[in-house]
Structures are given as C-alpha cells and as structure tokens.
Chains A and B, each alone.
Chain A
C-alpha cells in the first residue's frame, strides 16, 4: 500500500530549502499526487508551508495525530 501521509519535521530555517527540494523530488518522480505532505516544527508556519509546497502545517505531534486520523477517517 503506498504512503498516504508524509510528515516532515523541521527545526531549522536553514532546512527550508532541503524540504522544498524533497517535495519537488516527489513531484518529479510522480509521487506527489498520492501523498499528503505535513510539516511541523518550531520555525514552520503557513508562509513556510507555501514556500515548501507542503499541504498542511501541524503545530505539534498531537495536532499531527488529530489531523491524520481525520484525514484517514480513523475514529
């Protein structure tokens, strides 16, 4: 079964470009359409999400679990 969600943790602004490259690689390999990309971590916000091309920002681990359960229809 292919991955449904991909969570990327980011603690440094200097990693923004690496994560952007990671998401662009998914696109180049034709994998982007099948996976929801979540990002989180101290310096990450909506502007970062847009810059990286991710789908959703999670403020912390708990929020990531809540979002993922909802997205996957888990009760």
Chain B
C-alpha cells in the first residue's frame, strides 16, 4: 500500500471515530482496541510478554504489525512505546516483570507495596505533589532516573513508526490518576481507613496535588492541542470500592476539574471507566453533549449507561475479556452485533472490556471486528 493510501485510510478511520464521538452515525461502527501483548503475539506467535521488557523496539514493531494484520482497528487505545519497567511509577507502585519476578510469558503487574505513609501526606501538603513524587519513586520505590530517560527515548523512537503505519492513537494527553495513585501508593487497606479517619487531610492532599496537576495539564494541552484527553478514573473510586457519597466528596471534584479543563481548551474527553460505576453515572451528565467518550470494561451495566448517558456522550465497550479468552467466535460476534444494535449505532464505538487479554483467541478478536460490517 502506498504511503498516501495509508494516510488516507488513517484519516477515514479517524473521521469515523470523530463522528461517533459527536453522536452521529458513521458508515460503520468504529472499532477501538488495545492490548500490546495480544497484538505482538498476533503478529508473532513465538513472542513472549518479556519481549516487551527486554527488546521493546522489536516487540512494539510486532504490535504495529499485529494491528495492521487485524486491519479493522480504527483507533488504538493502548500504549505503543511504553517503557514497562517504569510504568508503575505513576501509580506509586513497584513493578513485577516477566522474566524478572514473573515467568517469561506472564503479564506484568503493578506491585502495590504500600510504602506511602501518613507523613507523606504532610510532605505533599507542604512541598507539593511534584516534589513528593520525584523523591518517592526514586528513593522509596527504587526506580532509576535514567530509566525515565529511556522511557522518553523509546516513545520518541516508536511514534514515527506508528505514524508511518497509519495507526490512529487515542490520546495525546492523560490525567486523572490521582485517587488511584494515592490509594495504591498508600496501600488499599490503609487508604480506605484514612478516608474515614482523616478525611480532611486527604482532601488537603488532593487539593495540593491538584494545584500542580491542573497546571501541568493546561501546559500539556496548550503545547500538544490533543483532540482527545484521557481522564482515567479507572478502579478505586468506583462503586466496587467506595460509596456514591464518598465518590462525590473525594473523587468526583478531580475528574470534573480535569475534564472541564480539557473541554474548555477545545479537547474532548475519554473517560476510562474500569470496574463498576452504575451508581455514579448521573454525575457525568455535567459535560456538554458530544464531547466525551465513556469507556466500559463490562463491570458496569452498559444498558444502564445507555439509558443515563446515551445521547449525551459516546459509549465504548464492552466485549468481555472472558468471552475473548474462553468463548467462541459465534459468541463474540453475536454479542458485538447486539451491542451495535442496542447501544449504537449512533454514538457508539465497539471495544473490548479494557484491553484485549494476552490469551484471547485470535479468531474471537477477528469475529469482533467482523461484526461491525455485518
């Protein structure tokens, strides 16, 4: 395929995605996927997950080949060029890596060691988030400063290859991980107790951190002007962990602030909503029509989301990892078709529930992509 054809196809795919975001009906339902281990193995079945750690340039080139081979991916929501060795830093966790602490073909894991103390809360309040973070991840979690440099180099090396391959990446900016980071840094059990024992201090911590994070986000948006900004409530503020009342007090203000900043600057917001959010959906009615995407992993009732947020924001989801790993192509095709009919066709993007798992059957992922064309 010539490079001009590749770029034309890329634009066609992104236009489809943009139409869905604006709650219009594209020519076919767009497909948005992620899952580097799956796509690497889809291109090269002998690859091991440890290749993403030990020879990332090679491994990410295989990821790109995998995405091209599947061909029906309109937007890729994963991280092509993530230096996995340091990816736990943003959540204040250590990493367990395949080929190091884990078997060669095991999925890498965030290791919630919970090293953060109550004294660290005071440090954040007194000195700010950035001063705390840069010290904590190096001195306490043991990440090496040079690894963060390697992380930037890897990303810079991969981006031209992604562009050349005609792959649309979802997001150029990300924010919103504060609640999860403090929860995982402190350790879930301690943090949940802190929310009850010292609620005012937790709010002070969030206020201090948000002052810097919002400035950082504004700079990031002014420089990159991304079409999409990812805001990632992810897990720990969901209904599986805290009540609606606690969500409203501790978590909602930060998501609302991040999203408002992005929208005010002309960007659109992608909410990555892992876990169950059924009781908090109405909060998200606060945002303007056709400016947000609500991405579900299967734990939230997507039909309830359609009822509450349909016609307001684009909904993405939610073919379950379980069905991709254990089901048949017929199961996956039928569920995908049902989603397109019931949740779409306007304002809907077909996706897996969070990332495609590494052990998804290729024929199941192919069936999912085939479903959009009937």
Contact = CB atoms under 8 A, between A and B. Distances in A.
Interface residues of B, number: 24
Given A14-B107, A59-B276, A59-B299, A44 B240 contact: no
B320 interface: yes
A34 to B, nearest CB: 27
B29 interface: no
Most chain B CB inside 10 Å of its own CB: which residue of A16, A42, A44, A48: A42
Contacts of A71: none
B106 interface: yes
Contacts of B326: 13, 16, 47-48, 51
A14 B104 CA distance: 13
Interface stretch (B14-22, B61-69, B70-78, B352-360): B352-360
Given A14-B106, A60-B240, A60-B276, A48 B322 contact: yes
Contacts of A74: none
Contacts of A14: 106-107, 357-359
Given A48-B322, A61-B240, A12 B274 contact: no
Interface string A45-59: 101100100000001
Given A44-B322, A47-B327, A60-B276, A13 B357 contact: yes
Interface of A: 12-14, 16, 42-45, 47-48, 51, 59-62
Contacts of B239: 60
Contacts of A62: 240
A13 B322 CA distance: 7
B325 interface: yes
6 A-B pairs with least C-beta separation: A13-B357, A43-B321, A13-B325, A60-B240, A48-B322, A13-B321
Contacts of B275: 42
Given A48-B322, A60-B240, A61-B240, A43 B274 contact: no
Interface string B315-345: 0000011111111000000000000000000
7 contacts: A14-B106, A42-B299, A43-B321, A44-B322, A45-B320, A47-B322, A59-B276
Nearest to B356: A13
Most chain B CB inside 10 Å of its own CB: which residue of A43, A60, A61: A43
A14 B109 CA distance: 12
Most chain B CB inside 10 Å of its own CB: which residue of A14, A44, A47: A14
A6 B215 CA distance: 48
A59 B299 CA distance: 8
A43 B107 contact: no
Contacts of A51: 326
Contacts of B360: 13
Contact of B107 (A12, A48, A60): A12
A58 B292 CA distance: 31
A13 B299 CA distance: 15
Nearest to A43: B321
Contacts of B299: 42, 59
Contacts of B298: 45
Interface in B145-179: none
B295 interface: no
B297 interface: yes
Interface string B294-315: 0001110000000000000000
Contacts of A44: 322
Most chain B CB inside 10 Å of its own CB: which residue of A13, A44, A45, A51: A13
Most chain A CB inside 10 Å of its own CB: which residue of B239, B276, B299, B360: B299
A13 B276 contact: no
